[in-house]
Amino acid sequence: MTVPASVSRFLDEADRRLAHRPKLQRLFRNCFPNTLETTTKPLEDGTTFVFTGDIPAMWLRDSTEQVRHYLLLAKDDEELQRLLSGLIARQMFYLTIDPYTNAFNETPSDAHYRASDDCGLNPWMWERKYELDSLCFPVQLLYSYWQETGRVDAFTDTCYRALTSIVNVMITEQRHMERSPYRFVRDTDKETETLQNDGRGLPVNYTGMTWSGFRPSDDACLFGYNIPNNMFAVVVLGHIRTIARDIYKDKRLAERAEKLRREIDFGIRAYGIVNHPAYGRIYAYETDGFGNYCLMDDAGTPGLVSIPYIGYAGPDDPVYRNTRRFALSGDNPYYFQGTHARGIGSPHTPKGYVWHMALSMQALTSDDDDEIRELIDMLANTDADTGYMHEGFHPDDPAVFTRPWFAWSNSLFAALIVKAMERGLV
C-alpha cells in the first residue's frame, strides 16, 4: 500500500540524520515502513488486516507490535489514523469470535496451520493457541491510540464486547483446571508445540494469576503461570478499568477489571519472585503455584527483559535489575553468544540462535548509552547484508537465519533507532 505522508516525511528526516552511517540509514529506510509497504491490507469494510510477513495470517500480538512505532506520527495524519483504527476494529472483531485464538485468517477460509489440531478450530482460525499476551496487545494498542490521538472512534460496541470477553476469560483462567473449556493437542514430537495432560497443561494451583497455554514465542508454557504475561495483564487491566469508567461509563466492568488486576499483581509478588543465590530476588519466567518454577527468559515479547517496555515496572526497579542481569547471562539457558553476537534466543528456533528482536528489546529497555550503541552496531552487522532484520540467526554466522520476512522484527528495530535518534546516539 502507499505509505502515508507523515511516514514519508519522517523517513526523509531520518535519511538526513543518518547520512553519516549509510548502512544504518538503509536498514532504517527499509525497516520503518516495512509493515505498511508489505503486510498491511485495508479491507472494504473499513478494517485493516495486518499479516505477519512470510505467513498469511494475522496474529493479535504481532499485528500490534508491527504498527506500534507509527503511533508517534498518528496524531496529525488522518490516513494513518484510519489504518490504525481499522486494525483495532479488526482485532476487536476477532476477539469476539474467539478470545482463545492467537492467529486469524482474513476471511473464514478454513485455512489452518495444522488442520489436525485438536482444539476446536473454526474457519476463521489460522491457529488456536491460547496466549495471554494475545488478549493484552490489542488493549495496549487501543489505549495508546486513544492517548496519542485523542480520538474515540475505536470505542465501538464490538470493542466493548471484546473488552468484556477479555476480562471474562482472564477470570476463568485464574482457575484453569476447574473452569476452563480450553485444551490443545497437536500430533507432534516437539514438546513445545502441544500441551501435556491431554491438552490441559500440567496442573496449576490457584495463585490469583491467570493461566496461559502458550508463550509469546508460540511455544507451550512449561508451567501455566507465565510471569511476563501476567505482568502485561496487570497493565492492560488498568487500561480496561479506565476505558470502562471514562468511555463506556460501565462501573461494574471497571470494578471487575480492577479487582482482577489486583489479584494478578498479588500473585506475581507472592509466587513469581525467587531468591537466586547469585542474583538475589529475581522474577521467575513461569510457575505453577505449587512451588515449581523455571528460571529463563525468551526472546519473545513480553519477556522478563521487556518488563519496562510493557509498563509493569521501571528500569530502576531492583528486582527487575537483578532479573535483567540473570537474563543477560549464561545462567539463562537461552542466552547464547558467538563471534558476531550475544543475546537471548528461544526454544522456538535452533539451539544457539540469537534473536534480532531480543537485541532490539535489550537496547529499548536499557538506560546505558554505551550498551545501546553496542547493540545497534551488533544488529546492523548481523543482517547478512539483506537490509532487514530476521527472527533467529547463528551468532557465529549471521548468514544462517530464520524468517527472511518478519515484519515484527523490522518494526522493533525501527523503534530502537527512533529512540536512539531522539537521544542523539546515532
CATH number (domain holding residue 392): 1.50.10.10
Q: Name the helix (H) or strand (E) containing 287.
A: strand 286-287
Q: Which residue has the cell 503461570?
A: 225
- Look at strands 354-355 and 392-394 and give their pairing: antiparallel
Please tell me the predicted confidence (pLDDT) of residue 2: 84
pTM for this one?
0.97
DSSP 202-248: S-----SS---SB-TTSPBPSSSEEHHHHHHHHHHHHHHHHHHHHTS
Q: Hey, what's the cell of 59?
A: 496474529
Residue-wise pLDDT tens digits, 293-335: 999 999 999 999 999 999 999 999 999 999 999 999 999 999 9
Interhelix angle 157-172/251-271, nearest 10 degrees: 40
- Nearest Cα residue to 210 out of 295, 128, 136, 296: 136
The helices-and-strands tally (H runs, E runs) of the chain is: 15, 15
Domain count of the chain?
A: 1
Which residue type sits at 52?
Answer: T
pLDDT of 1 reads 73
Instruction: Evaluate the CA torsion angle 394, 395, 399, 402 in order and state its sign.
Output: positive
Which residues of the chain have a pLDDT value below 70? Answer: none
Which residue range is the domain that position 148 belongs to? Answer: 5-422
